[in-house]
Amino acid sequence: MAKRALSMNLNGQVVGPFTVDDDLMMIEFLHEYLNLTGSRLGCGQGICHACVAILDKPDGTSEEIRTCITGAHFFDGKKVRTIEGHAKRDAKGEVSELNPIQQKFIDQFAFQCSYCTPGYVNAATVLVEKLQRQPVKRSELEGEIENALGNHICRCTGYVRYYNAAREVVEGLGLVKEG
Amino acid sequence: MRGLFLAALLLPLAAQAAEQSSDKTLIERGKYLARAADCVACHSIEGGAEYAGGLPLVSPFGTIYGTNITPDKEHGIGHYSAEEFYRAVTQGERRDGGKLYPAMPYTSYHLLKREDSDAIYAYLMSLDPIAKPSPKTDLAFPFNVRFGMTFWNMLYKNRVQLEPADGKGEEWQRGQYLVEVLGHCGECHTPRNALGALQQDLRMSGGVILGYEAPSLLAKDLAERGWTTDDLATFLKHGISDQGSVFNEMYPVLHHSTQYLPLDDHRAMATYLLGEQPPAPRSIKAVAESELGESAARGRQDYLNLCAGCHEAAGKGVPHVAVAMDGNTTLRLADSRNLLRVIDDGIREQQFTGFERMQPMPGFRDKLDDGQMRDLLNYLRQTWGGLETEVTPERVAELRGEAPSH
């Protein structure tokens, strides 16, 4: 298999250029080249969404991308965030503060085995960022949460707690309009 | 004496039982024929009662709705006699004399056998009546004037004529009736003229419906795209074969109709379409990376980035997940319409017969600009489609510029 150069902005840092197989999937790149193993390989078929990372687009919007079925070179020159990029870190690189979604998931005991959690955190982050750009009417909130999290599979069936946590974060940040 | 008395008593009962059994046989035959004719696809909506109507059929002239054909006397066909039903189905005339629009394929059904119409009628009349009104058609002037159909019918009503069956075997003849009449395949797979009539001289050479191409079913074109009689029969039965899977408008055809037919029917339809001596299917050797044109070579990386995760880098596909690109009939169509549309729109989760499923394919409209789309199309078509011509930027822009039809 041919190789080609790959670099990207990952969690705020430029990484690369690496010389990488042109058919390498993004999750393998994260695991094998960057030692970022927080993105989980679940189904490997784009179904379970455990592997999603966040793509930051030039227009200021963000979207979740399944890294198990998306080639690493798709991200060449782009801005990407993974689960490792959410928490604040101190000068030593140690986690000093979780982001509101991570914290709420813990407060709500939203996960059990945690395998799907990085995907849920990323999906909920994309949701929050979307609502920060355009708050949602209360009557549409449940639909927004369903659209954002509904494709994610949790085999411990923690759905209700994930949804509750996401709802509390959105409401806590004042992103819901009455109506 | 006592025996004679008993026999006299039992004879009417036996006759009654025979009549009931005959009714049951007729209804069962009607059910089979209604499935072969795919009546339910147009006369039902998703989640609604079968045959209670309501499905919008979007045409260039406006929207026509499938009607309620349950035995309900107010909204359905409860007042129709078998004769009136036959006239509606084969001549496009309602019981009250009004003209049906040819969205109801009477142009094909005009060759329906009377006994088959009667059996379908018996089956429909055996269903529970559903008191659901049919939505009103919504056509632009002058197509909303039903009387205009009189002239249309004079020109086009009986235009579909079957190829003579001289010297053809029983299987071919049965296939012809299933394909041309009951299955009315030509209604989608034939181009239409400006008045919406099938172009008889181009029959089965392919048509465009709701933005997608219903490909040519001519034997030479099927063989060019890799079809064999066995594969075509498998495709009709299971919705999936080495050449790919049904999608778009063909999916409900499988779902409501062809999957229920006996294997002999699939074989007969395939025999009719490909002929008793089918042309050899064209085999294609995948083109090596080094032989790709410039655009296709760029498209290769787009394929690896966005498609290979499911369809596999060498195009072999993943069983029960995503079909193979290698051997896929859609990549071999001369026009890139369907390939582009599928990549842009995606395909909903597909359920086939037995345990076979295909997971949903997302649409990539927002991931590929026009240049990337062109490169990807060229890569797919050159590598696995056996097509040497390149898709032009104008064609990509034209196809993408067409408003979504559904």
SS (H, E, C) chain A: CCEEEEEEEECCEEEEEEEEECCCEHHHHHHHHCCCCCCCCCCCCCCCCCCEEEEECCCCCEEEEECCCCEHHHHCCCEEECHHHCCEECCCCCEEECCHHHHHHHHCCCCCCCCCHHHHHHHHHHHHHHHHHCCEEHHHHHHHHHHHHCCCCCCCCCHHHHHHHHHHHHHHCCCEECC
Strand (E) or helix (H) holding B65: strand B62-65
- Give the pLDDT of residue B12: 66
Give the tokens for residue B52: 């209670």
Compute φ and ψ for B113, nearest 5 degrees: -70, 145
Closest CA to B193 of B142, B241, B152: B152
- Give the pLDDT of residue B286: 79
- Give the pLDDT of residue B406: 45
Give the tokens for residue B111: 């060759």
**Cβ-defined contact of B309 to A25 (cutoff 8 Å):** yes
- Give the pLDDT of residue B64: 82
Q: Which of B289, B310, B313 sits opposite A69 (nearest CB)?
A: B310
**Cβ-defined contact of A73 to B305 (cutoff 8 Å):** yes
Chain A CB contacts of B313 under 8 Å are 1, 23
CA distance B142 to B349: 40
Give A24→chain B minimum CA distance, Å. Answer: 8
| Interchain CB contacts (distance < 8 Å): A and B | 38
- Give the pLDDT of residue B386: 93
Give B361→chain A minimum CA distance, Å. Answer: 10
Burial zone of B227 (CB within 10 Å; 0-12 exposed, 13-18 middle, 19+ buried):
buried
Q: Which of A47, A66, A71 sits opposite B305 (nearest CB)?
A: A71
Give B364→chain A minimum CA distance, Å. Answer: 12
What CATH topology corresponds to A88-177? Answer: DNA polymerase; domain 1 (1.10.150)
For the residues of B254-293, what is the DSSP string, one character each? HHHTGGGS-HHHHHHHHHHHH-SSPPPPPP-PPPPGGG--
Compute φ and ψ for B83, nearest 5 degrees: -65, -45
Give the tokens for residue B69: 């054909």
Which amino acid does the sequence have at A109?
Answer: F
CATH number for the segment(s) A3-85: 3.10.20.30
Where do the H-state alpha helices sit in B112-187? 114-125, 149-156, 170-176
- Give the pLDDT of residue B140: 65
Mapped onto helix, strand or coil, the DSSP state of residue B351 is strand
Chain B CB contacts of A69 under 8 Å are 309-310
Mutant choice from A3, A6, A45, A73 vs B, greatest count of B C-beta within 10 A: A45
Chain B CB contacts of A45 under 8 Å are 309-310, 318, 321, 359
Give A135→chain B minimum CA distance, Å. Answer: 23
What ipTM was predicted for this assembly?
0.92
Give B372→chain A minimum CA distance, Å. Answer: 12
CA distance A34 to B405: 45
pLDDT digit string (tens) for chain B, length 406 residues: 556 666 666 666 666 666 677 789 999 999 999 999 999 999 998 888 999 988 888 777 778 888 899 999 999 999 999 999 999 999 988 888 888 877 888 889 999 999 999 999 999 999 999 998 887 776 666 666 666 677 667 776 666 778 888 899 999 999 999 999 999 999 999 998 887 888 888 999 999 988 999 999 999 999 999 999 999 999 999 999 999 999 999 999 999 999 999 999 999 999 999 999 999 999 988 788 889 999 999 999 999 999 999 999 999 999 989 999 999 999 999 999 999 999 999 999 889 988 888 999 999 999 999 999 999 999 999 999 999 889 999 999 999 998 454 4
With CA atoms as reference, the chain A residue closest to B372 would be A74
**Cβ-defined contact of A73 to B313 (cutoff 8 Å):** no
Give the tokens for residue B258: 């062809």
Long-range contacts from A149-154, C-beta under 8 angstroms, 24+ separation: A149/A120, A149/A123, A149/A124, A151/A49, A152/A48, A152/A49, A152/A50, A152/A52, A152/A116, A152/A119, A152/A120, A152/A123, A153/A42, A153/A47, A153/A48, A153/A49, A153/A50, A153/A116, A154/A111, A154/A116, A154/A120
Residue A87, Ramachandran bin (φ over 0: left; ψ between -120 and 50: alpha; else beta) = beta
**Is the separation of the CB atoms in B381 and B398 below 8 Å?**
no
**Cβ-defined contact of A71 to B308 (cutoff 8 Å):** yes
Its pTM stands at 0.90
**Is the separation of the CB atoms in A82 and A53 below 8 Å?**
yes
- Give the pLDDT of residue B404: 55
Residues of B with CB under 8 A from a CB of A: 289, 300-301, 304-306, 308-310, 313, 318, 321, 359, 362
Q: Cα–Cα distances in Å, from B300 out to A149, B50, B136, B295, B310? A: 32, 46, 49, 9, 15
Give A112→chain B minimum CA distance, Å. Answer: 27
Beta bridge partners of A4: A20
**Cβ-defined contact of A46 to B309 (cutoff 8 Å):** yes
pLDDT at A39 over 60: yes
Closest CA to B345 of B368, B317, B329: B368
Going by the annotation, the residues of the binding site of B for heme c are 39, 42-43, 185, 188-189, 307, 310-311
For chain A, the structural domain boundaries read 3-85, 88-177
Mapped onto helix, strand or coil, the DSSP state of residue B187 is helix
Give the tokens for residue B102: 């040819």
**Is the separation of the CB atoms in B375 and B295 below 8 Å?**
yes
- Give the pLDDT of residue B177: 97
- Give the pLDDT of residue B101: 79
Which regions of chain B carry the CATH code 1.10.760.10? 289-401
Task: Choose the CATH number for B289-401 among 1.10.8.10, 1.10.760.10, 3.40.50.970, 1.10.1130.10.
Answer: 1.10.760.10
Q: Which of A25, A45, A66 sits opposite B321 (nearest CB)?
A: A45
**Is the separation of the CB atoms in B84 and B90 below 8 Å?**
no
- pLDDT confidence of A114, banded at 50, 70, 90? very high
**Is the separation of the CB atoms in B238 and B356 below 8 Å?**
yes
Chain A CB contacts of B292 under 8 Å are none
Instruction: Give Cβ neighbours of residue B15 (< 8 Å, ≥ 6 apart).
Output: none
